[in-house]
Amino acid sequence: MNNISISKQLFARAQESIPGGVNSPVRAFKSVGGTPLFIRRAKGAHLFDVDDNQYIDYIASWGPMILGHAYEPVVKAIQEYAAYSTSYGAPTELEIKMAELIRSMVPNVDLIRMVSSGTEACMSAIRVARGYTGRNKILKFEGCYHGHADSFLVKAGSGVATFNIQAVPGVTAGVSADTLTCAYNDLDAVKQLAAAHKGEIAAIIVEPVAGNMGCILPQPGFLEGIRQICDEDGIVFIFDEVMTGFRLSQGGAQQTLGINADLVTYGKVIGAGMPVGAFGGKKEIMQVVAPLGNVYQAGTLSGNPIAMIAGYTLLSELRNNPSLYHELDTKTAYLKDGLQNVLDNWGQPFVINHFGSMISIHFSEKPVTDFASAAAANNARFSSFFHAMLQHGVYLPPSAFESWFLNNALSYEDLDKTIEAARQSLAGL
Ligand SMILES: *Cc1c(COP(=O)(O)O)cnc(C)c1O
């Protein structure tokens, strides 16, 4: 067993001052059991905890560290800009450069507004869609997570699913009533809801590749069908690309899947590990945003210079070296093949879902295509697997309802070690 005595002490101390000892629920290891590791530092694909254990990292800060931790151009840029002051509350040229860079990478974004988190991006996008259409209802999918704004905490994925919270106290019935839900990949259900609520739905929001119930792929025709429904009934189609943006490709899921969204939200990779989110889209819709229009949305630290230079530096690297995506996808496919092989030899039921540099394992007999099938998997077995992998120096997301994120600092040696760790871990289950 790894010695994690300092993490244990810190976790006990943290719980005296912080709810559950963490500032975001999934970090607490509550669903897999055990003590969350407190991290001291990271470099490339490797995390080091406070007890000096080393791990190969498959969380990558839930996505942002796509080129690895402490990526030197980003660290240097932050250091340089921090010396000029960390915030002004007035516009900077950097914000224009960031917006221009994003527009040069991503389709269908005429105007874009920076915020400080994915939650803010999604809640703002919904307000814009409601303001633009004059309608109240939204439609989301079971197991998709769009941040913790009230409207989205209905059948949400990520921590809400991990902790099996059915109805979130504090979210009013009125708000919940305006959120329609149906199963991911169930186009017929979308059609029925759209028909039953004709002229009432402001927006359909979706994770174009879902990552908050494990990794779940959109089935052929699902997103295309929603696009058509939105066109027919004047519904704003929102791609929540907080995970997929700048990860699946420069242009995110819109580009990779060849489907156009009306509004798009970003987070995670866009800030290189700083608190950044963004929402953007067609001019016709985005021009309702204040001060151009009356849909109010604001932020004291929105477009913060340190956050902007971090994101700008990372996105520039991704834009200038498109082969990075090919490298990353090839590594992920290599990992998938290796895991598939050891799981086949192990002989118990499993499903690997994989898209680009997102991947997850469900201990399931049936294909995992939506929240119900993800929840029906043997998630106790996932917890055992998670802990065994940790003992072998591999840090996976501490929940079966989360995708793993690869970063391009992973070497083939790291991947081979991970595959061998999986073989040993499965043998001990
Ligand atoms: C993480 C996530 C969010 C929320 O972003 P935060 O920065 O945690 O507020 C929203 N949507 C998706 C798809 C996410 O994965």
Whole-number pLDDT of residue 31: 87
Tokens 């290796």 identify what position?
338
The residue whose CA is least distant from atom 10 of ligand 1 is: 146
Annotation: CATH topology of 73-320:
Aspartate Aminotransferase; domain 2 (3.40.640)
Q: What is the pLDDT of residue 51?
A: 98
Q: Where are the domains of the chain?
A: 5-70+322-427, 73-320
Residue that has been written with the tokens 């004291």 in this structure: 300
pTM score of the predicted model: 0.97
Task: Return the pLDDT at 246.
Answer: 98
CB atoms within 10 A of CB 339: 21
Q: Would you call 58 a catalytic residue per the annotation?
A: no
- Interval 48-61: pLDDT, tens: 999 999 999 999 99
**Cα 22 to ligand 1 centroid, rounded to whole Å:** 17
pLDDT in tens, the chain (429 residues): 899 999 999 999 999 999 999 999 999 999 899 999 999 999 999 999 999 999 999 999 999 999 999 999 999 999 999 999 999 999 999 999 999 999 999 999 999 999 999 999 999 999 999 999 999 999 999 999 999 999 999 888 887 877 777 788 899 989 999 999 999 999 999 999 999 999 999 999 999 999 999 999 999 999 999 999 999 999 999 999 999 999 999 999 999 999 999 999 999 999 999 999 999 999 999 999 999 999 999 999 999 999 999 999 999 999 999 899 999 999 999 999 999 999 999 999 999 999 999 999 999 999 999 999 999 999 999 999 999 999 999 999 999 999 999 999 999 999 999 999 999 999 999
Write out the DSSP string of 229-298: HHHHHT-EEEEE-TTTBTTTBTTHHHHHHT---SEEEE-GGGGBTBS-EEEEE-HHHHTTBTTTSSB---
Over residues 345-378, the pLDDT tens digits come to 999 999 999 999 999 999 999 999 999 999 999 9
Looking at residue 155, its pLDDT comes to 84
Q: Which residues contact 271 (CB under 8 A, 6 or more apart)?
A: 64, 277, 307, 310, 311
Question: Phi and psi dihedrals of 141, rounded to 5?
Answer: -110, 140
Q: What is the pLDDT of residue 4?
A: 97
Nearest CA residue ID for atom 6, ligand 1: 118
Query: Quick one: fold of 5-70+322-427?
Result: Aspartate Aminotransferase, domain 1 (3.90.1150)
For residues 365 and 181, what is the distance between their CA atoms, to the nearest angstrom?
26
Taking only the tens place, the pLDDT of each residue in 7-18 is 999 999 999 999
Give, as one character, the DSSP assignment of residue 217.
P
Integer CA distances (angstroms), 170 to 25, 140, 180, 196, 329, in order = 17, 19, 18, 28, 41
Q: Which two tokens stand for residue 284?
A: 């016709």
145 in active site:
yes
CB atoms within 10 A of CB 239: 28
Task: Measure 341 CA to ligand 1 centroid, in angstroms.
Answer: 32
Q: Which of 55, 145, 184, 266 is catalytic?
A: 145
pLDDT at 33: 93
Identical fold at 5-70+322-427 and 73-320? no
CA–centroid distance, 348 to ligand 1, in Å, is: 33
Report which of 260, 255, 318 is spatially closest to residue 73, judged by C-alpha positions: 318
With a Cβ cut-off of 6 Å, ligand 1 is lined by 117-119, 122, 145-147, 207, 211-212, 240, 242-243, 267, 277
SS3 201: strand
